[in-house]
Structure 1
């Protein structure tokens, strides 16, 4: 990369963008993936189709924490959240009043974004049907190693833990449902 130029961010769905366009300094490279990209970006800038891609399905949940470490103001946090969101979400979030006001407030922006996604938090985040669907999905999947079993366990605990805390599921039901999600060959020895 020539000296004196701003680094270029590459995303296959978006034309190359200069970091300078954010109006704020970029977030510090904290995560290991970002460090890897930083050290090897010289060759990847010239041949981006071979570079590893980070395609977020949702914005990084830690944007607020990282932005605090970078000492960004409220407007900078909002710009970073929009910048790292998926393109369709970013276009929607840019239209929010809390993102376009001159004196933008981070907490107001978060509240406005959560209003776009009903049920993203609160008592109705998960239903019993979500747990039953997860169990059915994993019952037909072959679990060949501990990693796949661990993935099922984490997803199951996320939903079941919420349902138990809302008194929508008992611990005994949780145990039975978890076993129902194991493939027959794996559940027989248990």
Structure 2
């Protein structure tokens, strides 16, 4: 996610006003990975929001987006995972990758 925002900043530096928060937020929304992500992120774009505030608010939505994990992150992940069912080897593999991503950085 941090790299995504860096790419948006580089795009704006090359092709638009690099100090324009509105333009950066617009580009981040425009290039969001999918429509549901765009809708979620759009809800954090209130009038007067700066680029820095927008990035901070969005990064708080994602575990580990700032490169740090805490024991509480691992606990929440395990609790959320316990509510779902593993129906395939792919599910187990995905769980293992996500668990490892958090646990290995503690």
TM-score (norm 2): 0.51
How far residue 159 of structure 1 moved from its aligned partner, in angstroms, is 1.5
The 2-side partners of 1:88 and 1:161 are apart by 32
The CA deviation string for residues 88-121 of structure 1, in whole angstroms up to 9 with x for no partner, is 1122xx413xx4xxxxxxxxx33x335544x963
- Residue 113 in structure 1 maps to residue 54 in structure 2: yes
Question: Could you tell me whether the CA contact under 8 Å between 2:73 and 2:102 is conserved in 1?
Answer: yes
- Residue 149 in structure 1 maps to residue 92 in structure 2: yes
Pairwise CA RMSD: 3.7
Higher helix share: 2
The 2-side partners of 1:113 and 1:142 are apart by 34
TM-score (norm 1): 0.34
Question: Could you tell me whether the CA contact under 8 Å between 2:74 and 2:102 is conserved in 1?
Answer: yes
Q: What SS does structure 1 have at the residue aligned with 2:86?
A: coil
Give the greater-gyration-radius structure (CA): 1
The aligned counterpart of 1:62 is: 4
Unaligned runs of 5+ in 2: 33-37
Which among 48, 69, 72 is matched to residue 126 of structure 1?
69
Q: Per the alignment, do residues 161 and 72 of structure 1 end up closer, same or farther by CA in structure 2, a change over 3 Å counting?
A: farther
Q: What SS does structure 2 have at the residue aligned with 1:65?
A: helix
The aligned counterpart of 1:81 is: 28
Higher strand share: 1
The 1-side partners of 2:105 and 2:27 are apart by 30
The 2-side partners of 1:63 and 1:114 are apart by 7
